Every structure is written in structure tokens, then in C-alpha cells.
Amino acid sequence: MGKNNKPIGLAIIGCGTIGRIRAEFARDYPGIGWIGLCDIKEDRGRELAKVVGADMFTTDMAELIGRPEVDATMIITEENHHTEPTLLAVDQGHKLFIEKPLATEARDSAIILKAITENNIDACVGYTQRFRRRFLTVKERLTNGQIGDVHSVTTRAFMNRMVPIATIAKTNERHNLTPMVVSGTHSLDMSMWLMEGKTPISVYAKSVDPVMSEWGTKDSTFGIFTMDDGTIFSMNISWGLPTVWPGSVYGLEIGSVGTKGVIDIEDTHRDLVLATEEKLPGGYVTDGFKPDADRHVDFLTSYPPGDIWNGQLWGPMREETMGWFARVHGGLNTPHALAHEGHNNLMHTMAMDLSAKRGQEVKLPIDPEEFYKDA
């Protein structure tokens, strides 16, 4: 990464919950000289523009991305709407930060990656958990070979069903909004990052949907990957846990077994438990959704972006966002996921869904067109 001491001209596309968080971080970063915001909901965008002192607000993303002041763009729209703003920003040569997944359609993801690669764009994808201390230290220990050659990896993610309901309720384009594509992608990205250098050659998966079928998605997907060196990797996610499940969002376990040792990560947040007679909110609750039971127990710190103190968010999303600003402004080498990793994550999560649908092993790498053959 080369240094760029010129102040950043930043465009933020999307002013929802995460867009608001990142915009407030941008307000506090001294290397940003200009901020523009865009959202289709004008009242929400103008309110945020006042909070962060933005230089511009518009409902027209092409107008904002085309502004001469802008040289870096953050794409923080809903999952189904990353493609158009990303390609507009690539055309302008902007440095990019794109919320995960890179896209929700395999064809769109391939188009985005091709454009980014051909234009030599520095593009990062929002896999926030890479910035947590526990995963960074595990990555360092694995890189240093302290457990030898890893040959077996197990990953399990549990999630409260309020997460998929909040995600799916926003759109009728639900066919790819599955537990793996939307949320399992985080734990798969972490596992693949920790296994860096190993390439998946096949996956076999199964899914069930007794509860979440009414929302047009699955409850759970379990899969086994085989890597090019023979390593086996099990990747399991259940995002249909009841609304009273104390984890606000994520409970994750990853075990890596090597020829000389093992690293076992328990990231379930059960070490910090709140129990109260008061009713507790969920981590993600969409407008108009009423949980079917009251929540009185919470695993604190299980909200992935971080935790609030005095109206400020502290935690991995702050580290990730400020790190990206330092990457753009000062050339800092950072642990962000890059565009090709984001694309691979989508292909692998969709391959799991395809395997479960067909009831057979799927060979990897996979042509994006393969996902449209059964349509």
C-alpha cells in the first residue's frame, strides 16, 4: 500500500444502522476532508448528514459518486443492492469498502470482481470479525506454525432467528438470503482466513427448514469441505434459534487441529451473562416485528460490531473502519478481506446451498453459471 497524504474525499452509500455507525467514525477521523452521504430514504439521510456534519446529501448515488471531491466510497446498502453503486465507484477509480457479501447473485459478484481486478482497485469487504483480538492472535499463531500443518477444522455458528427475520423482511428478493450466504459467510471467511493457502476442491452439505420456511429461507445448513491438500473442514450454521436465545447475534466455535497441536476457539459469549426482570431488546429487530416471547437473559458482547459506551460504539467495527481509513490515507497494511476473498466466500456459501439442494457433492471451484442451471 502506498501512502496518500491527501485528505480523503468520502462517499457513503447507505445510511441505515451500519451506515450510520461508519459515518460517525468518518466524522472522527482526522484524515477525512470531505464527506457525502446517499440514501433512498431522504429523511434518514438528511438527519445523519446533520449529525456528522456531512458536506453533501443526495438520494442520487450516481451524483455523489461522480463528485470530483470523492476518491473513496463505502457501499453500505442492503445485501441485494451492492452491484450498481460498486460498479459506479469502480468507474471513477475510487478505493472501495463494500459490506459483505460482495453481492447476492453469483453473476453480479463475478462482474464486480472482474471490474475491480481489471481497474486495479483496492477494494475491501466488510468481514468485521477479522479485527477482534482473539482472531488476530490465532491467525498469528497459525502463521508462525505453532500447531504444525493444520489438517482438520470444525466451525459451528448459532444465531438468534431475529437476525434472518430482520434481513429477509426488507425485501422480496429472498432466494439467495440463506443462512450461509448472509451470516455463515462470516464464520466461513474466518475459517478460510485461518486456513490461508488451502483451496477447497469440493463440498457436500445438507439443510433443514422446519421453522424458517415461512420466511423463505432455511434454519440450518451443515457442510463438509475437502481442501486441495486433503484437509477436511466442517462448516455448520443454525440461524433459526428461538427469539429467547440469549445470544444477541453470533455464537461461534472454531477448532483447528494440526500435526503438532490444536487451537480451540470458544466465542459463544457465555462468560458475560446478564439476567434481569426487565425486558431486553434483541440484537437485530426489524420495524414492526414483535418477538414471540420476552427476553430476560443476554450474552453480553455478542453483538458483532461492538458495544455502546456513552453513545459511542467501541469494538471491531471501529477498528475495521478506522483501519480502512488509515489504509486509504496512510497506506497501512491491514487484515481486511479483499475483493477476491469476498467473491470466493460467496461462491463457497452458494455451493453449500447448491449441494444441499441437489443432495450431492459439488466440485470446486465452481462456474457462477452453475447456480442458474436449476432455476
Question: What's residue 286's pLDDT?
Answer: 61
Question: What's residue 58's pLDDT?
Answer: 98
Cα-based angle 165, 170, 175 (whole degrees, multiple of 5): 75
Question: What's residue 5's pLDDT?
Answer: 77
Q: Answer yes or no: is 236 within a domain.
A: no
Tens-digit pLDDT profile for residues 301-356: 998 999 999 999 999 999 999 999 999 999 999 999 999 999 999 999 999 999 99
Question: What's residue 168's pLDDT?
Answer: 76
Q: Answer yes or no: is 374 within a domain.
A: no
Q: Answer yes or no: is 99 within a domain.
A: yes
Question: What's residue 169's pLDDT?
Answer: 67
For the chain, list residues with pLDDT below 70: 1-4, 169-175, 283-289, 375
Question: What's residue 250's pLDDT?
Answer: 87
Please say whether the beta carbons of 250 and 164 come within 8 A.
Answer: no
Tens-digit pLDDT profile for residues 256-273: 999 999 999 999 999 999
CA dihedral sign, ordered 111, 344, 120, 64 = positive
Longest dimension (CA), the chain: 57
Domain that holds residue 323: 8-129+317-339
Answer whether 0.85 is exceeded by the pTM.
yes
CA dihedral sign, ordered 36, 42, 48, 51 = positive
Instruction: Give the closest residue to 270 by CA, choosing from 240, 249, 301, 294.
Output: 301
Half-sphere exposure of 27 (CA within 13 A, CB side): 16
Q: Answer yes or no: is 371 within a domain.
A: no
Contacts of 223 (CB under 8 A, 6+ apart): 180, 203, 204, 205, 206, 234, 235, 236, 352, 355, 356
Q: Answer yes or no: is 14 within a domain.
A: yes
Question: What's residue 293's pLDDT?
Answer: 86
**Within 10 Å of residue 239's Cβ, how many Cβ atoms?**
28
Helices (H) and strands (E) in the chain, counts: 10, 18
> What distance in Å separates the CA atoms of residue 40 and residue 76, rounded to the nearest whole number?
12
CA dihedral sign, ordered 30, 35, 41, 44 = positive
Total number of domains in the chain: 1
Rounded to 10 degrees, what is the CA torsion of 333, 334, 336, 341?
40
Q: Answer yes or no: is 25 within a domain.
A: yes
Q: Answer yes or no: is 154 within a domain.
A: no
Instruction: Give the closest residue to 336 by CA, choosing from 81, 24, 67, 100.
Output: 100
Please say whether the beta carbons of 159 and 237 come within 8 A.
Answer: yes
> What distance in Å separates the CA atoms of residue 230 and residue 195, rounded to the nearest whole number?
12
Strand partners, 223: 205, 235
Q: Answer yes or no: is 34 within a domain.
A: yes
Question: Any idea what the CATH number is for the domain that residue 324 is in?
Answer: 3.40.50.720
